[in-house]
Amino acid sequence: MLTTHAPAKVNLTLAVHGRRDDGYHDLTSLVAFAGIGDSVSLDPAGPDGLTITGPFASGLATDGSNLVLRAIEHLNDRRALGKVGHFTLAKRLPVASGIGGGSADAAAALRLVARARGWPVHLPDVMEAARQTGADVPVCLTSKARQITGTGEVLGLPLKLPRLFAVLVNPGVAVSTAAVFAKLGLQPGRSRVPVLQPQMAVGLWRQDGLEEDAGSLISRILRGHGNDLEAAACQIQPVIEETLEALRATGNCRLARMSGSGATCFGLFDDRNQSLAAARSLVKAYPHWWIRATLLH
């Protein structure tokens, strides 16, 4: 039995630059990964297939429409895998929540097959299977902080971010990524007003030798680059704005922002004690929300 972690992906920044002629949106995002996530196991001796357990397993398909099996099918198209084995997904992350749970699960399945076959995870066929599965799957293969561009499938070099003490909060609603992008109202071939590229800012930050300074990252980079999907998602699910206000109201929150297309939001704090205290107060005030203190890296 082989097992791997499938950490939550958090978009620290997300800028939408326009919509391409093929209908996809061009974006730039600074991505980090959390210490919490799903887990995926593979029993190479078991029958091919997928079992899903965990608090968010209900309603999830276990057929070829699931991203885990879809990723393996794309790899099979390129590598003729034959028998693969049985996957078990422990689903601990909320579904359709803007933190890449499905993409992380698919990437984890690809890692497990690569490990079972003795292949490096950066093998071109593995990377191509990840790209075919979804725009977020390639960055989840290694789960390292990076800047991503294009539709999300173009990866920058790994970044050594300072430790970011965070609280992730999902108010219990699912948000359609397609609906959020549609709310932007961009027609194919249309561009948005140019913004300062996060990669330029990150480059300056790293050149200054401030890689270990979380405060500098927050004040000099993150505050100046938001999430262009946040306003649209709040229109679709107003509870997202309530979630952001709840994070800010904890008192020590340095920055509150939505991740991806929502509805999960994150708050950043100066240290572990502050993040844990904030999580406890939020759990008390909103007992039905999904709330986790974690470390982003």
Split at pLDDT 50, 70, 90, the class of 203 is low
Split at pLDDT 50, 70, 90, the class of 213 is confident
Split at pLDDT 50, 70, 90, the class of 212 is low
* 8 Å CB contact between 87 and 110: no
Q: Which residues are catalytic?
A: 9, 136
pLDDT above 50: residue 210: no
* 8 Å CB contact between 58 and 94: no
pLDDT at residue 274 in the model: 98
Is residue 86 classed as helix, strand or coil in its secondary structure? Answer: strand
- For the entire predicted model, the pTM comes to 0.94
* 8 Å CB contact between 109 and 72: yes
Residue in 67, 237, 42, 51 with CA at minimum distance from that of residue 136: 67
pLDDT above 80: residue 193: no
> Could you give the percent of the chain with pLDDT greater than 70?
93
pLDDT at residue 197 in the model: 53
* Residue found by looking up tokens 């309603």 in the block: 59
> Could you give the percent of the chain with pLDDT greater than 90?
86
pLDDT at residue 206 in the model: 57
pLDDT above 80: residue 198: no
Burial 64-98 (b: 16+ CB within 10 A, else e): eebbbbbbbebbeeebebeebbbbbbbbbbbebbb
- For the CA atoms of 33, 36, 42, 46, what is the dihedral angle to 10 degrees? -150
pLDDT at residue 65 in the model: 96
